[in-house]
Chains A and B, each alone.
Chain A
Amino acid sequence: MTAWITFKAAIADVTRRPYPVLWLWIGNLLIALAVTAPFYALADAGLSHSLVGRRLLGSFDVTWLMDGAATSMNTIPMATPLAAAAALGYLLLSTFLTGGSLAHLADRDRHRTTAAVFFSDSGRLFPPLSRLLVLALVGYGLALGALALLLDAALSPWTGDPLTEWAGLIAGGVKALVLLLAFSILSMVFDYARVTMVLDDDARAVRSLGRGLAFVRRNFGAAWLLYLLCAAVFGAAALLYLEVYRVLPDDAVALIAVAFIFHQLFVAARCGIRLVFFASEIGLVQARR
């Protein structure tokens, strides 16, 4: 019951004070534009004067994709470092903005957060949150990697020389479920570590991680229920987005603009859901202390 009440309060809080959503969305859009701009330039150079490009407005003509893939085969390996750089850049930016967002949500009396205050909080909390991020990267890698190896070894009698296709399918499903469960627990631990770091104004990453771990251990039921509620909201929003996306026409310039706005609304909604995650976790910590 605590989880449900906390969740409702978090939604109300984020709805009432959605200010950080703006910065999270802008940060996301800027990085995404930086990533896609070179591809746009390439596509524009090759297609803007070609009938193949004109046909793209009607239906998907695979011709140009095949031609493009074939002619740029040697540059495709560059996509991996580009994607890694974008992911790393976004991770750092997101860590930076998370500090401001958490500070904003933790102070329930604060009705309005100016840009100066938001970025001041972000800057202040960036170093400890970055240390926590490093711990998280190592923790995820070690824990999930080791678990995956263990699962592979445990399931090998069924997957090594299977009698039926079901064996592999079920083993794969079991492995995915166990890894998902482990991921959700790890995710909670590191999220609560961030929350306690901000609430306790304690910059020590290892100590915060310990407090996050202790909190999840003591309140696993409520924390996990809250996690599932947030995940369910995200799932429902994603499904709705995909269904609308499926039928949304974008075969005219005006419709492309409508589609762009629709995509951005969903991205902003996802940022909001991320804030609801944080707000509900803050609420739970405050309620259980």
Chain B
Amino acid sequence: VRTPAAVPWVCATLCLATVSGAQQPPETANSYEIWAELVPGEHRLDGRERLVWTNTSEDTVTDMWFHLYWNAFKNSSSVVNRQIARRNAFGEEGYLHPPIDVGDDDWGWTEVTRIATADGDDLTGTITFGDDPGGDQTIMRIELPRPLSPGEAVKLHIDFQSRVPRNAMRSGRQNDNYMMMQWYPKPGVYQTGRGWVAHRHYPYGEFFADFADFTVHFTVPSNFVVGATGREVARREDPESGTTRYTYSQRAVHDFAWTADTRYLRVEREFVPSEHITEDRYREVARILRLPVEEVRLRPVLMTLLIQKEHRHLIDRHFEGMADAIAYYGLWYGPYPYDVVTMVDPPFGSNAGGMEYPTLFTVGTSLLPGINKRPHGLIAHEFGHNYWQGVVANDEFSHPWMDEALDKYSDGKMYEALYGPLVYELHVGGLPVSRYTRDITWYVRDYYRAAVSLVTTLDPVDQPASRFCSSFSYYANTYARGTIVLHTLERIVGADTMHRILRTYQMRHRYRHVTPDDFFATVNEVSGRDLSWFFEVALRSTATFDYGIAAVAAAPAGAPRGVFGTGAGRHTVTAAEVDEADAAADERHAYLVKVRRYGDASIGGDVALEVRAVFSSGQEQSQMWDGRGRWAELRFEGDSPLDHVVIDPDRILLLDVNLTNNSRTFEPSRAGVLRWMNRVLAAVQNALLLVPAAV
């Protein structure tokens, strides 16, 4: 039943890999070998699993919890379907896939038919599914025959049968396409003192599992084209049954996904670093990261694309985006840790286009990809999850921002650096007519900023995925606000330091589970500053930042006039003397500026806000405001009339929900507004003309 303690050896391997920056994934303490056969006609999957699970905690373990996520699609009483039904009742359909809107033959499930130790102890009778009131079976508990001490391992033999659900939450089938995601019995994570962490399947946040070495043999009809996590190591065709058995293997991943479709085109190309990265680029990155050049060098990666036939004209685009992502993420955050990566273009209408799994991700595209770089951004994001979640593995359910925000920040930086701003794309009848809207451009962070003001008061960013007020709040807080938090952090510590922070965080924690504290500690250590206040207010509170210039006024003119002093010192300042003093004051151009903190959040630590006055001669004057109080009055004097005053002129505090009030010009300027209102007026006039023409 048990193997000798493997923990010290595993730890040594992991530490060595991390410290030396070695790129080969280490062996892990856990392993899976799975045999699966897909019977498409019956939408059935039969599987056998040989699992070695090692107790790497300091506790003695007496039971085990597994994920059986396809049971989320077994009936409408599952946790995920109940939550979706509740949220849809509030009109949130647009944010959720509709797994409960299926026909009677579309339900799917996984049933463990037998589970036993390698020594023959049958544990099937100990199976329970927890105490969910709706009878949810997405997690399963078994009792071990004997307590498992720290460092000991258990070998389990698991037989399971599944019915493949109609595409739901990115898993399942559509016509002849099979997306086999979250498809096998997978243990949760045992943490010292906390016990088993195995979350039921909620609409969001589905990854948290131990790293393991996988060998998976799956059998499908021979006319299917397949792809999977890892590298194909064997293939055996059986002409008699018309099936082919594929074997894929991968070390040090926490999940395994595969897909099969009769309509995939399979294309392979190699990422060759020297074709994408010059020596000068290596040296520049190494200088910024303060690392030897050899440590930032990348290595070849085998890129595989499974693409729908109607998208064959987009093959080059996919590989271009993939290579760009491997190069960008590899240079800044560390070399891609595996030697293979597979992109999957799922069928149209499957709702599966945009999901990450170790070394495999889905990327939905369109026949008409538009003028922005597409699907490059999505490729970067899903590929990037190999870094943020894949090898630096947060509990995605408990802290979803840790991978989604970090990855959105990273892919946004990449898009910005390689492809520039996004162009507003206008479609009429499905056809892109953006030729006429090209001067409207922005970056992803621009519209993410808008989300910040919409959801900050709803939820904090750092909380479990199931606790958000709404689906919109989940997305906007986790992805958008989390990303803007990181952009703000970058502006506080500087871009180069931010690169070093993320590089350190990535390389130090590869093949480990991380918590927010790991990230915060890395930030503080690398930046040399205590930014704990920032994380508390930005990630764990619902207070908004909003600083602004409330008013600007010319300082009161007129020197003091009247009688001053006492006794012999009494004297009178005359009107003539005042006029003379005022003439001198006019040349000073003095102004009073009232700055305000409109939001409830305030900056802290060693951060202060710059208030900059710019005079018409071009002269600039700056004062710092600590921003703790609700308001402050500042005085500026320049050599010419005041042009404008601006608080936080470099937009460091990107979390500020209203940047429009951050500046105030002394004289109004309406030309910009007129320019755009003229365009709006023309648009309204043309729209109005459509009304009578239409009836």
Knowing A54-B665, A165-B366 are in contact, say whether A67-B691 is a contact too (CB < 8 A): no
Indicate if the CB atoms of A256 and B671 lie closer than 8 Å: yes
Smallest distance from the beta carbon of A151 to chain B beta carbons, Å? 15
Query: Of A32, A67, A71, A274, which is within 8 A of B693 by CB?
Result: A274
Indicate if the CB atoms of A33 and B673 lie closer than 8 Å: no
Indicate if the CB atoms of A48 and B175 lie closer than 8 Å: no
Bound state CA distance, A59 and B672, in angstroms?
Answer: 9
Query: Of A40, A137, A242, which is within 8 A of B673 by CB?
Result: A40
- Chain B residues with CB under 8 Å of A157's CB are none
Knowing A53-B673, A63-B660, A66-B446 are in contact, say whether A32-B310 is a contact too (CB < 8 A): no
Indicate if the CB atoms of A36 and B450 lie closer than 8 Å: no
> B1 near A: Cβ within 8 Å?
no
> A229 near B: Cβ within 8 Å?
no
Query: Of A70, A86, A165, which is within 8 A of B310 by CB?
Result: A165
Indicate if the CB atoms of B442 and A62 lie closer than 8 Å: yes
Who on chain B is nearest to A59 by CB? B439
> B223 near A: Cβ within 8 Å?
no
Indicate if the CB atoms of B348 and A50 lie closer than 8 Å: no
Knowing A165-B366, A267-B689 are in contact, say whether A50-B664 is a contact too (CB < 8 A): yes
Bound state CA distance, A79 and B58, in angstroms?
Answer: 61
Stretch at the interface among A117-125, A212-220, A243-251: A243-251
Indicate if the CB atoms of A69 and B450 lie closer than 8 Å: yes
Knowing A32-B685, A47-B673, A48-B673 are in contact, say whether A168-B310 is a contact too (CB < 8 A): no
Bound state CA distance, A263 and B263, in angstroms?
Answer: 50
Knowing A33-B681, A67-B658, A190-B695 are in contact, say whether A168-B673 is a contact too (CB < 8 A): no
A-contact 0/1 string along B653-669, CB 8 Å cutoff: 00001111111110011
> Which A231-289 residues sit within 8 Å CB-CB of chain B?
242, 245-246, 250-253, 256, 259-260, 263, 266-267, 270-271, 274
Query: Of A56, A183, A187, A245, which is within 8 A of B675 by CB?
Result: A56
> Which A31-48 residues sit within 8 Å CB-CB of chain B?
31-33, 35-36, 39-40, 43-44, 46-48
Knowing A90-B688, A168-B349 are in contact, say whether A36-B677 is a contact too (CB < 8 A): yes
> A221 near B: Cβ within 8 Å?
no
Stretch at the interface among B246-254, B277-285, B429-437: B429-437
Query: Of B441, B657, B680, B691, which is within 8 A of A59 by CB?
Result: B441
Indicate if the CB atoms of B692 and A90 lie closer than 8 Å: yes
Bound state CA distance, A201 and B666, in angstroms?
Answer: 63
Knowing A62-B447, A165-B348 are in contact, say whether A28-B310 is a contact too (CB < 8 A): no
Bound state CA distance, A239 and B73, in angstroms?
Answer: 51
> B367 near A: Cβ within 8 Å?
yes
Smallest distance from the beta carbon of A132 to chain B beta carbons, Å? 10
- Chain B residues with CB under 8 Å of A75's CB are none
- Chain A residues with CB under 8 Å of B681's CB are 32-33, 36, 260, 263
- Chain B residues with CB under 8 Å of A164's CB are 263, 308-310, 347-348
> A91 near B: Cβ within 8 Å?
yes
> A222 near B: Cβ within 8 Å?
no
> Which A51-96 residues sit within 8 Å CB-CB of chain B?
51-60, 62-64, 66-71, 73, 86-87, 90-91, 94-95
> B20 near A: Cβ within 8 Å?
no
Query: Of B174, B430, B676, which is within 8 A of A172 by CB?
Result: B430
Indicate if the CB atoms of A56 and B673 lie closer than 8 Å: yes
Bound state CA distance, A94 and B695, in angstroms?
Answer: 11
> B678 near A: Cβ within 8 Å?
yes
Query: Of B450, B661, B676, B691, which is within 8 A of A91 by CB?
Result: B691
- Chain A residues with CB under 8 Å of B672's CB are 47, 53-58
Bound state CA distance, A36 and B676, in angstroms?
Answer: 11
Knowing A94-B691, A164-B308 are in contact, say whether A63-B684 is a contact too (CB < 8 A): no
> A23 near B: Cβ within 8 Å?
no
Bound state CA distance, A6 and B689, in angstroms?
Answer: 24
> Which A137-172 residues sit within 8 Å CB-CB of chain B?
137, 140, 161-169, 172
* Main DSSP-derived SS at the B contact region: helix
> A5 near B: Cβ within 8 Å?
no
Bound state CA distance, A55 and B435, in angstroms?
Answer: 23
- Chain A residues with CB under 8 Å of B693's CB are 187, 274
> B553 near A: Cβ within 8 Å?
no
Indicate if the CB atoms of B453 and A71 lie closer than 8 Å: yes
Smallest distance from the beta carbon of A43 to chain B beta carbons, Å? 5
Indicate if the CB atoms of B677 and A39 lie closer than 8 Å: yes
> A29 near B: Cβ within 8 Å?
yes
Indicate if the CB atoms of A161 and B695 lie closer than 8 Å: no
A-B interface contact total, Cβ < 8 Å:
197
Who on chain A is nearest to B649 by CB? A51
- Chain B residues with CB under 8 Å of A36's CB are 677, 680-681, 684
> Which B627-666 residues sit within 8 Å CB-CB of chain A?
644, 646, 657-665
Indicate if the CB atoms of B689 and A67 lie closer than 8 Å: no
> A136 near B: Cβ within 8 Å?
yes
Q: Which of B263, B660, B684 is the most central at the interface, judged by chain A CB atoms within 10 Å of its CB?
A: B660
Knowing A60-B440, A133-B695, A245-B436 are in contact, say whether A163-B263 is a contact too (CB < 8 A): yes
Indicate if the CB atoms of B688 and A62 lie closer than 8 Å: no
Who on chain A is nearest to B452 by CB? A70
- Chain A residues with CB under 8 Å of B309's CB are 164
Who on chain B is nearest to A73 by CB? B454
- Chain A residues with CB under 8 Å of B453's CB are 67, 70-71
Bound state CA distance, A222 and B342, in angstroms?
Answer: 59
Indicate if the CB atoms of B349 and A161 lie closer than 8 Å: yes
Who on chain B is nearest to A83 by CB? B687
- Chain A residues with CB under 8 Å of B263's CB are 163-164
Indicate if the CB atoms of B644 and A48 lie closer than 8 Å: no
Bound state CA distance, A274 and B690, in angstroms?
Answer: 11
Indicate if the CB atoms of B695 and A136 lie closer than 8 Å: yes
Smallest distance from the beta carbon of A279 to chain B beta carbons, Å? 15
Who on chain B is nearest to A46 by CB? B660
- Chain A residues with CB under 8 Å of B660's CB are 46-47, 50, 52-53, 63-64, 67-68
Indicate if the CB atoms of B671 and A267 lie closer than 8 Å: no
Bound state CA distance, A250 and B659, in angstroms?
Answer: 25
Query: Of B430, B454, B661, B673, which is within 8 A of A169 by CB?
Result: B430
> A98 near B: Cβ within 8 Å?
yes
> B22 near A: Cβ within 8 Å?
no
Knowing A36-B684, A246-B435, A259-B678 are in contact, say whether A63-B446 is a contact too (CB < 8 A): yes
- 5 A–B pairs (Cβ distance < 8 Å), ordered by A: A44-B673, A54-B672, A91-B692, A250-B678, A250-B679
Q: Which 5 A-B pairs have the closest CB atoms?
A: A56-B672, A66-B450, A263-B682, A94-B692, A51-B663
Report B's interface with A, CB cutoff 8 A. Answer: 174-175, 263, 308-311, 347-349, 366-367, 429-430, 435-436, 438-442, 446-447, 449-450, 453-454, 644, 646, 657-665, 668-682, 684-686, 688-689, 691-695
Q: Beyond A53-B673, A259-B675, list 14 extra A-B contacts (CB 8 Å).
A: A31-B688, A32-B684, A33-B681, A47-B672, A48-B668, A52-B660, A53-B670, A56-B675, A62-B447, A67-B453, A87-B688, A133-B695, A165-B310, A267-B686
